[in-house]
Amino acid sequence: MDFIFDVGNVLVDYKPVVYLDSLFSDSSLVKIINIAIFQSPEWLYMDQGTLSHAEASNIFCARLPELEYAIIKTMESVNNIFTPLPETIKLLPIIKESGHSLYFLSNIHNEIRDFLLENHQYFSLFDGGVFSCDVKLTKPSPEIYRFLIEKYQLNAQDCLFFDDIEENVAAAEKEGIKGVLFTTAECVLPYI
């Protein structure tokens, strides 16, 4: 069996509001910055690899010049939003030792990809994977699932895909991959 993991909220925590709360004490500012950055089309474009971190920062600052200081502070330390989820991470070697292969499939942009690969050693356990920014495709597009399957010559019916977003799980299942909605690391255990 080939195990395919999403990254955000599966392998690492990804909670923008919690992160912003750690930066700013003003809850209305947190709400504005969350919408302006993390819910913007530009965030998706960064995930697609069609907009750089610097270009997005410039767009955010031009859009809300009065909040430039908060935008810059958020974007300069955005990698800190991604902290490992130890309960999932500790399952990875167990999955490998059980004879299964490990892959990742994640919507993520270049700078965060680089940060994760440099600072999160557990990525060395993976047999491969796809970051959206590298292929200019994002989940739930069917093409990104097909790309992963074809790149590693996997049999879709022999794959398990864990993602915290129902739409992404459903899209995987349309491609013949068994999808599992990830809530906690415990949902992985029955498949090991």
How confident is the prediction for the chain on average, in pLDDT? 97
Looking at the structure, do residues 184 and 108 belong to the same domain, yes or no? yes
Read off the pLDDT of each residue in 111-140 and give the average, rounded to a whole number. 96
Are 88 and 164 within one domain?
yes
Determine the length of the chain: 192
Same structural domain for residues 95 and 186? Answer: yes
Could you say which of 78, 103, 132 is where a domain stops? Answer: 78
Q: Which of 78, 97, 128 is the last residue of a domain?
A: 78
DSSP state string for 117-129: HHH-GGGGG-SEE
Let me know the angle formed at the C-alpha of 16 by 13 and 18, rounded to the nearest 5 degrees: 80
pLDDT of residue 130: 98
Tokens of 179: 């999808």
User: Are 124 and 101 part of one and the same domain?
Assistant: yes
Task: For residue range 94-106, list pLDDT tens digits in order.
Answer: 999 999 999 999 9
CB within 8 A of 78, min separation 6: which ones?
A: 19, 111, 112
CA dist., res. 139 & res. 48, Å (int):
10
Is residue 162 domain-shared with residue 90, that is, in the same domain? yes
Say whether both 67 and 103 belong to one domain: no
Do 107 and 161 fall within a single domain? yes
Q: What is the pLDDT of residues 34-69, one digit of tens each?
A: 999 999 999 999 999 999 999 999 999 999 999 999
**What is the phi-psi region of residue 139: left when phi exceeds 0, alpha when psi lies from -120 to 50, beta otherwise?**
beta
Tens-digit pLDDT profile for residues 70-97: 999 999 999 999 999 999 999 999 999 9
Q: Within this chain, do residues 97 and 41 fall inside the same structural domain, yes or no?
A: no
> Can you give the residue range of the structural domain that contains 69?
16-78
177's tokens = 């991959």
Regarding whether 137 and 108 lie in a shared domain, the answer is yes
183 and 144 part of one domain: yes
Q: What is the pLDDT of residue 158?
A: 97
Q: How many structural domains is the chain composed of?
A: 2
Same domain as 183, residue 103: yes
Closest C-alpha among 165, 161, 167 to residue 188: 161
When pLDDT is cut at 50, 70 and 90, the band that residue 118 belongs to is very high
Name the packing angle between helices 53-63 and 68-76 (round to 10°).
160
Domain boundary at 25, 53, 78, which?
Answer: 78
In this predicted structure, what is the pLDDT of residue 155?
98
The confidence score (pLDDT) of residue 33 equals: 97
Looking at residue 178, its pLDDT comes to: 98
Are 108 and 55 in the same domain? Answer: no
Tell me whether strands 83-84 and 12-13 are parallel, antiparallel or unpaired.
Answer: antiparallel
Q: Give the CATH number, domain containing residue 151.
A: 3.40.50.1000
